[in-house]
């Protein structure tokens, strides 16, 4: 039961954070400035604005084990790069510490997944 609670609470947090990427599509001045300060091209903002919410949906839906692996990998790459970009841009700890915190929550979600949400069920996992 604890594993199930850990999985669903961590997955819900991850999904909500990934869904926030929809704001990338608004062209909000703060979002555009953030991507510019990090040295990212603006077309990456559009790609991530679609890819991150799609990953959130895949993580929440039943089945789709292969797509879930890609969603976990994509979120990992995005948040590792967000950490590197924020740290390199001289952002404060309140900004660059968020991606590693999200990576920890993502790892909890990944490790506590039920067998039905894995490509290959682990021995002894339920």
Whole-number pLDDT of residue 47: 96
Total domain count for the chain? 1
Whether the predicted pLDDT of 124 surpasses 80: no
Dist CA 90 CA 96 (whole Å):
9
Q: Is residue 117 part of a domain?
A: no
Question: What's the pLDDT band for 38 if we cut at 50, 70, 90?
Answer: confident
Q: Please indicate, yes or no, if residue 51 is contained in any of the structural domains.
A: yes
CB 48 within 8 A of CB 58: no
- Whether residue 97 lies inside any domain: the answer is yes
Residue 125 included in any domain: no
pLDDT of the residue at 119: 82
Range of 57's domain?
A: 2-111
Per-residue pLDDT averaged across 53-57, rounded?
Answer: 97
The whole-model pTM stands at 0.88
DSSP, residue by residue, 21-62 = GGGGGGT-HHHHHHHHHHT--HHHHHHHHHHHHHHHHHHHSS
């Amino acid at each position: 039961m604890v594993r199930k609670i850990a999985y669903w609470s961590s997955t819900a947090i991850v999904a909500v954070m990934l869904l926030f990427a929809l704001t990338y599509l608004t062209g909000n001045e703060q979002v555009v400035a953030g991507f510019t300060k990090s040295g990212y091209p603006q077309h990456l903002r559009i790609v991530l604005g679609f890819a991150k919410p799609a990953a959130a949906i895949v993580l929440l839906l039943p089945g789709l084990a292969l797509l879930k692996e890609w969603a976990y990998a994509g979120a990992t790459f995005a948040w590792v790069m967000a950490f590197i970009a924020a740290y390199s841009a001289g952002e404060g700890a309140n900004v660059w510490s968020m991606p590693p915190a999200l990576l920890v929550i993502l790892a909890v979600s990944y490790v506590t997944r039920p067998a039905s949400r894995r490509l290959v069920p682990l021995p002894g996992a339920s």
